[in-house]
Structures are given as C-alpha cells and as structure tokens.
Amino acid sequence: MNLKHIPKRSCISCKLKFSKGDLLRLVYDKHLEAVSLDVKQKFQSRGAYICSDMKCYNKMYKKGVLLRFLGSNNLSAEIITYIDKERT
C-alpha cells in the first residue's frame, strides 16, 4: 500500500484545516501591487489560503485578515470576479 501524503492547510479566516487542493491560495504580487490568485499554488511568494465559504471571503476583506497575513488588502480584479461568480 503506497499512501501519498496529502498536505493540510488552514483557512486564514475560519482557521479550519482542509487539504491543500480544496483551498484557494492568495499571494501578494509585487508587479501588480495587489493580492492575486495562485491557481497552480507554485508562486514564489508568501501565500495565504482561504476556503470557499462566502462568510470567510467577507471576513477576510472586512476584518482585515488578509492585510495581517500578506501586508495588503488590495485585491486584484481577478479575485473580485471569482468571488462574485461564487456568490451566484
């Protein structure tokens, strides 16, 4: 039996643990000067993970959780579009 290790990460908003593939990774992009999505989860920068619960998105932005983790609360248009799509 060859069981592969599945990395666990915590949501920055609700603090619950999920497998890495179930979470969205957010990184601060110096070129855009904004927080953007890291779809492949390989970007060479400090990252923060968030689950797909809308309560977590709201808390992340309104309570300044993202600012505390990545040093910026400036979301790229890519993230805002993704969040709006998730709401519908």
Query: Looking at residue 71, what is its pLDDT?
Result: 85
In eight-state DSSP terms, residue 75 is B
Kindly give the residue spans of alpha helices, DSSP state H, lying in 9-76: 54-62, 65-70
Query: Looking at residue 32, what is its pLDDT?
Result: 79
Distance between CA atoms of residues 72 and 88, nearest Å: 26
Contact 74, 35 (CB under 8 A): yes
Contact 35, 76 (CB under 8 A): yes
How do the domains of the chain map onto residue ranges? 8-87
Is the pTM higher than 0.85? The answer reads no
| Each residue's pLDDT tens digit, 5-57 | 888 999 999 999 999 889 989 998 888 788 888 888 888 888 899 998 888 88
Q: Considering only the top CATH level, what class is 8-87?
A: alpha beta
